Amino acid sequence: MQTVLTQPFSDQKPGTSGLRKQVTTFQQPHYLQNFVQAIFDSLEGYQGQTLVVGGDGRYYNREAIQIILKMAAANGFGRILVGQGGILSTPAVSGIIRKYQAFGGIILSASHNPGGPDGDFGIKYNTSNGGPAPEKVTSAIFERSKVIDEYKILEASDVDLDRIGPSTLGNTRVEVVDSVTDYAALMESLFDFDQIQQFLTRGDFRICIDPLHAVTGPYATAIFERRLNAPAGTVQNGIPLEDFGGGHPDPNLVYAKDLVKIMFGDNAPDFGAASDGDGDRNMILGRNFFVTPSDSLAILAANATLVPGYRQGLAGIARSMPTSQAPDRVAEKLGIDCYETPTGWKFFGNLLDAGKITLCGEESFGTGSNHVREKDGLWAVLFWLNILAVRQQSVETIVKEHWATYGRNVYSRHDYEGVDSDRAHDLITTLRGQLSTLPGQTFGAYTVGYSDDFSYTDPVDGSVASQQGVRIGFQDGSRIVFRLSGTGTQGATLRVYLESYEADSSKHDQDPQVALGDLIQLADSLAQITAKTGRTTPTVIT
């Protein structure tokens, strides 16, 4: 065992989802090692315990895993479970931590950010419930990273990550496990695989699944093509590549280009889905039809009892604050609570652990349930397919019937990526300065009902998260929310979330960008987006 002297880096503050930086930053000598040691130094009682390690297969994944295995062994973990080839999706890690009662897990991923030598890399720590480390753990890690002066690592040859089975590193047992088996078994315990299989092999319902060259490739191929017998070729772009084929592994209408072309083309399949770099996000499409993630959560909640794993009903649901209020309407009808949390999956953990909620989701293509403690892309796809197999209707019909019942929460998010960081912060600070004077003011058809900077008190442990996004709510229920991304690695990303409510079904077919037109203009004039960022149009609209 070696104890290596090191000096702290000042920039190892975890963001919305772990520490995310450019690959070149991680490649600096001691950079990864410092952070990993800071994680271990912030934990107590892991001697002899189990650690789960895996990543999304992006560039630097294998190197990072070898370093982490040797450091975990040197620091006294008793057993390490690592995915074959270093591959484990984020939800799979969460499931494995829970199934084997591990102490925690380390996931290597920068989620939907591009990969390759010039792309991004990331590392996050998950605790024994399988979920992202809560704020108090991530701040302890950051504090430790600022003063760290040494780390421990074993001098040993590399573990063969491709061969399934056990080996040893010093006194630590390392088990290379199949990346898919446990996850697929968990899915089979929740959904009616036989019914989905019959539906997919009947011949008149075609699906197309696009992992965007990222981690869900092997999972999707095993589940859809092998277990559920969907035709070969159902999964496209299914081999995880270190640079995701040069693409941006983010399942939205802009980045999932191949899939969008197929689903909005001639003779399109009936159902399409994509997932992100580490497999926790999902995009659901019907033939020529896009399902907004906020609606997806609402629809899963409304139809949950059609699915075996949720037949007993839902304890409650939760959505992140910027997510549309469509799920709230379903909760109201079901007579269950709907919690509103800050952006980021870690805020759902306590609610799930306390049994207060069963389903939860975010507008950013994240949906999940109490089966793990991460959002879960393929879980959402299977949930939809199970509902479709039961209802035998098209995706579009199911969504439109939902709108007819509950009204439509028309929704869109506008992202301004790579904005100068000082300008973006100035925009938010200026908005905060206006908050007390906005209520009561009228802009065209809109009168401000409330305006605040969202603050959340966790109902389970009482912890408070403040300054989670500027909300401007209008008297007719419309909202505009402004916040800065906590996951970007270059400059700042301004996110503007727009929502209005339409009860009249004759207007449900309107393009959201048209229906939200006035609010979009109002957002620009309230926040001075063009003047302050120099941008006239968003980089990405979802």
Residue 418 Cβ vs ligand G1P, minimum distance, rounded to whole Å = 13
Our CB check for ligand G1P shows the closer of 85 and 122 to be 122
Q: Dihedral, CA atoms, 198, 201, 203, 208, nearest 10 degrees?
A: 120
Residue 134 Cβ vs ligand G1P, minimum distance, rounded to whole Å = 14
Our CB check for ligand G1P shows the closer of 193 and 347 to be 347
Say how far residue 404 (Cα) sits from the centre of its chain. 29
Which of Zn ion, ligand G1P, none lies near 278, with the C-beta cut-off 5 to 8 A by kind?
A: Zn ion
Q: Which residue matches tokens 């753990």? A: 137
Residue 112 Cβ vs ligand G1P, minimum distance, rounded to whole Å = 7
Our CB check for Zn ion shows the closer of 110 and 424 to be 110
Residue 111 designated active-site? yes
Our CB check for ligand G1P shows the closer of 192 and 374 to be 374
Our CB check for Zn ion shows the closer of 270 and 278 to be 278
Closest CA to 522 of 442, 408, 455: 442
**From the list 12, 33, 111, 451, which residue makes contact with Zn ion (rule: CB under 5 A)?**
111
Report the sign of the C-alpha dihedral through residues 140, 44, 101, 317, in that order: negative
Residue 495 Cβ vs ligand G1P, minimum distance, rounded to whole Å = 6
Residue 322 Cβ vs ligand G1P, minimum distance, rounded to whole Å = 7
Distance CA 279, CA 92 (A): 9
Coil vs helix vs strand at 141: helix
Instruction: Note whether 280 binds Zn ion by CB under 5 A.
Output: yes
Task: State the DSSP H helix or E strand holding residue 450, giving kind and residue range, or none if neither.
Answer: strand 446-453
Distance CA 188, CA 177 (A): 19
The count of chain residues that interact with Zn ion, using the rule CB under 5 A, is 4
Task: Indicate the length of the chain as a whole number.
Answer: 542
Our CB check for ligand G1P shows the closer of 84 and 111 to be 111
DSSP 8-state class, residue 25: H
Instruction: Note whether 56 binds Zn ion by CB under 5 A.
Output: no
Judge contact between 322 and 351, C-beta under 8 A. no
**From the list 278, 328, 458, 499, which residue makes contact with Zn ion (rule: CB under 5 A)?**
278
Which of ligand G1P, Zn ion, none lies near 16, with the C-beta cut-off 5 to 8 A by kind?
A: ligand G1P
Distance CA 309, CA 288 (A): 30
Residue 24 Cβ vs Zn ion, minimum distance, rounded to whole Å = 21
Residue 488 Cβ vs ligand G1P, minimum distance, rounded to whole Å = 6
Our CB check for ligand G1P shows the closer of 221 and 485 to be 485
Contacts with ligand G1P, residue ranges (CB under 6 A): 16-17, 111, 320, 343-345, 362, 364, 366, 485-487, 495
Residue 111 Cβ vs ligand G1P, minimum distance, rounded to whole Å = 5
Closest CA to 390 of 306, 331, 334: 306
Which of Zn ion, ligand G1P, none lies near 211, with the C-beta cut-off 5 to 8 A by kind?
A: none
Our CB check for Zn ion shows the closer of 349 and 473 to be 349
Which of Zn ion, ligand G1P, none lies near 343, with the C-beta cut-off 5 to 8 A by kind?
A: ligand G1P
Which of Zn ion, ligand G1P, none lies near 328, with the C-beta cut-off 5 to 8 A by kind?
A: none
Q: Where are the beta strands (DSSP E) in 127-251?
A: 150-153, 165-169, 172-177, 207-210
- Crossing angle of the two packed helices 293-303 and 395-406, in degrees rounded to 10: 80
Instruction: Note whether 276 binds Zn ion by CB under 5 A.
Output: yes
Residues 464-471: contacts with CB within 8 Å, 24+ apart?
Answer: 465/135, 465/342, 465/347, 468/321, 468/342, 468/343, 469/321, 469/322, 469/342, 469/343, 470/428, 470/431, 470/432, 470/435, 471/321
Task: State the DSSP H helix or E strand holding residue 63, giving kind and residue range, or none if neither.
Answer: helix 61-74
Judge contact between 149 and 5, C-beta under 8 A. yes
Coil vs helix vs strand at 480: strand
Residues 6+ apart with CB under 8 A from 302: 330, 333, 334, 402, 405, 406
Instruction: Note whether 295 binds Zn ion by CB under 5 A.
Output: no
Our CB check for Zn ion shows the closer of 280 and 376 to be 280
Which of Zn ion, ligand G1P, none lies near 362, with the C-beta cut-off 5 to 8 A by kind?
A: ligand G1P
Residue 280 Cβ vs ligand G1P, minimum distance, rounded to whole Å = 7
Catalytic residue among 111, 145, 320, 485: 111
Nearest residue to ligand G1P, scored by beta-carbon proximity: 485
Which of ligand G1P, Zn ion, none lies near 495, with the C-beta cut-off 5 to 8 A by kind?
A: ligand G1P
Q: Where are the beta strands (DSSP E) in 336-407?
A: 337-341, 359-362, 366-369
Q: String of b and e for 247-266 (b: at least 16 CB within 10 Å)?
A: bbbbbbbebbeebbebbeee
Closest CA to 119 of 26, 22, 255, 27: 22
Residue 469 Cβ vs ligand G1P, minimum distance, rounded to whole Å = 9
Judge contact between 173 and 100, C-beta under 8 A. no
Residues 6+ apart with CB under 8 A from 358: 304, 310, 314, 315, 316, 317, 369, 370
Which of ligand G1P, Zn ion, none lies near 364, with the C-beta cut-off 5 to 8 A by kind?
A: ligand G1P
Which of Zn ion, ligand G1P, none lies near 487, with the C-beta cut-off 5 to 8 A by kind?
A: ligand G1P
Q: Which residue matches tokens 């589940």? A: 223
Our CB check for ligand G1P shows the closer of 364 and 500 to be 364
Which of Zn ion, ligand G1P, none lies near 485, with the C-beta cut-off 5 to 8 A by kind?
A: ligand G1P
Distance CA 403, CA 56 (A): 36
Give catalytic residue positions.
111
Return residues touching Zn ion (CB under 5 A): 111, 276, 278, 280
